[in-house]
Amino acid sequence: MAILKTQEELSALYNTITEGKGKPINHWEITALLETYGLRDIDAQEEYGVADLFVLAKHLVVFIDEKKGYKVQSIQTIKETNMFKRIVHNYIKGLAFSLPMLVQIVFTVVVGYALWSSMNASSERATAISLGTFAALIITGGSAQAIGRKGLFYLKLGEQVLAKNVSYVLLIVGFILIAFLFVVLTATNFFFTIFPFDIYMTAISYYVLLSIFFLLLSIFYVFEDYLSIVLLTLLGLIFVYGFHKVLLFPLASAQIYGLILLNVVVGLVVFRKLTKLEDETRSAEGANLPRPSILFYSLLPYYAYGTFYFAFLVVDRMVAWSADAANHPYIIWFNVSYELGLDWALIALILMMGVTEVSIAEFLYKINNRVTQVRFSNAKEFSEEIYKFFKKFNIFFILFSFAVTVGSFLFIYLLNKTLHLEFLATFLQQPTLGIFMIAAVAYFFLVNSLMNILFMFSLSRHHTPVQSIGYAFVVDLFVGLILSRAFGYEYASVGLLSGAVVLWWITFKEVRTMFKNLDYYYYSAY
């Protein structure tokens, strides 16, 4: 062990580590400055003759008052903005995530078909298209989460080249996953003949085209360009309408050609967006991404979460559609009554989804504004204030969700009373009405859970979201299987509700703990 340095040498060290810094409060802060400077306990022992950095910091405390010319730290608070305008803006922004789905629903109701849906499709075709769509959502869910998170992360840091490079890398990974599932599904159907060739070809065609479409759309979330997502979805609908009504293609062909053309257009737009990213602010990180093992390890929670999330959303349909397999030509058969109930509840889900963006935006606005005004000695008071905000926002969400659900019901009910359309009357018949009510409540718990998960992701807590969505998927599957086989296919919706409640309870408990100890969770996240 080296001999302790002289006071002059210790003073020089102190001046070095505090250069351009504010005045330290105590030896704990000096220890942090030593670590930031790059010193380790072994350095403290070999170079300065003390046991560790904490001891070395105590030797440096005497220089706190001796040094002059500390950098004056100015605390900048976030500029106050109109809360109502913030909420409206962020609600519309939140809706952008689900607007393509709403556009698809509206177009189907008004015209009778959309990009991949049709009110007049046969049960065989509806089954094939649905299976292809579900597979596309599940296989691209993880990639979309990873691309959106990592690409946006680099853009926020001003690392445009890294944002471009990671987007290309994760797109390639996404396409590999799509191809892998394509091979698995094709081989499985070839050896076991689960579906006839024509039905399988329809399903796999929609799977490939929609997978490419969903994967490419994830790039727009990197740029937070939600308007383009809506406009491109509308463009795809125009393509399908043009092929079918103008060129007189059969609807099946019109949808396939429309999706192909749409993917070409979206691909070109994505390529242009990424190539326009210039290296304007190259930092020390340069243009090299982390090693593949590190990159994918850091993104693994997002891949897992995205995959389980979409699997959770569709598994109750698979359970319901396979409940009466003995009376169907295939193991899974499209169920109109069940699908109508869920599609009706989707209206409420879409409108509730807008609140998720409001919740995280208001949370970050409040916490980032208050954290600059609260002293470290008042950490408990700070946590309690944010927790009160959390409780008030949940009360608001409950009231809003109730209004949205009632509004969704009244919309169909009054529309049916006014227009007397036969297909609208089916919504109000059992079991569709009951499925709607159960699914609407399930979506309430789901969206509330997503708000909790966003809070956790914003504070770098990934374990609970992945674990909870995995548990929710298992509960959804097994509760749905048991009840649908015992009482009827419509009880698969109870599986959806049970899984959503489990998801909410796990995430709620974690977030409640976080908010009660927010000072720790906030500072340990960065």
Residues 524 and 413 in one domain: yes
Task: Report residue 339: phi and psi, to 5°.
Answer: -65, -40
pTM confidence score: 0.82
Residues 521 and 457: beta-carbon distance below 8 Å: no
| Residue at 421 is within a domain | yes
d(CA 509, CA 506): 5
Query: Which range is least confidently modeled, 11-25, 76-90, 352-366, 506-520?
Result: 76-90
Residues 224 and 342 in one domain: no
In tens, the pLDDT along 469-483 reads 999 999 999 999 999
Q: Which two tokens stand for residue 266?
A: 């979206």
In tens, the pLDDT along 145-161 reads 999 888 888 888 778 88
Query: Which range is least confidently modeled, 234-248, 406-420, 502-516?
Result: 406-420
Which amino acid makes up residue 397?
Answer: F
- Band the pLDDT of 286: cuts 50, 70, 90: low
Average pLDDT in the 317-330 region? 89
> In percent, how much of the chain has pLDDT > 70?
92
Burial class of residue 202 in the structure, from the number of CB atoms within 10 Å of its CB (0-12 exposed, 13-18 middle, 19+ buried): buried
Which amino acid makes up residue 280?
Answer: E
d(CA 389, CA 360): 12
| Residue at 412 is within a domain | yes
pLDDT of residue 285: 46
- Band the pLDDT of 162: cuts 50, 70, 90: confident
Q: Which two tokens stand for residue 252?
A: 């099946």
- Band the pLDDT of 287: cuts 50, 70, 90: low
Query: Which range is least confidently modeled, 41-55, 83-97, 279-293?
Result: 279-293
Kindly report the length of the chain: 526
Residues 150 and 277 in one domain: yes
Domain C-terminal end among 289, 304, 338: 289
Residues 344 and 434: beta-carbon distance below 8 Å: no
Going by C-alpha positions, the residue among 11, 83, 108, 4 that lies closest to residue 49 is 4
Residues 337 and 267 in one domain: no
Report the alpha-carbon angle 463-468-472, nearest 5: 155
In tens, the pLDDT along 489-515 reads 999 999 999 999 999 999 999 999 988
Residues 213 and 348 in one domain: no
d(CA 340, CA 249): 27
pLDDT of residue 338: 94
Residues 373 and 277 in one domain: no
Helix (H) and strand (E) counts in the chain:
19, 0
Total number of domains in the chain: 3
pLDDT of residue 74: 52
d(CA 251, CA 229): 23
Residues 334 and 281 in one domain: no
Coil, strand or helix at 118: strand
For the ranges 42-51, 90-99, 448-457, the maximum mean pLDDT occurs at 448-457
In tens, the pLDDT along 266-285 reads 999 999 999 888 645 444 44
Residues 255 and 241: beta-carbon distance below 8 Å: no
Residues 247 and 187 in one domain: yes
Range of the domain at 439: 83-93+327-526
Query: Which range is least confidently modeled, 85-89, 210-214, 244-248?
Result: 85-89
pLDDT of residue 263: 97
- Residue with more model confidence, 318 or 419: 318
Neighbours of 322 (CB within 10 A): 19
Residue 372 has pLDDT above 80, yes or no: no
Which amino acid makes up residue 230?
Answer: V
* Angle between helices 27-37 and 7-17 in degrees, nearest 10: 80
For the ranges 25-34, 107-116, 138-147, the maximum mean pLDDT occurs at 138-147
Residue 364 has pLDDT above 60, yes or no: yes
pLDDT of residue 412: 87
Domain C-terminal end among 243, 261, 289: 289
Residues 375 and 491 in one domain: yes
Residues 465 and 496 in one domain: yes
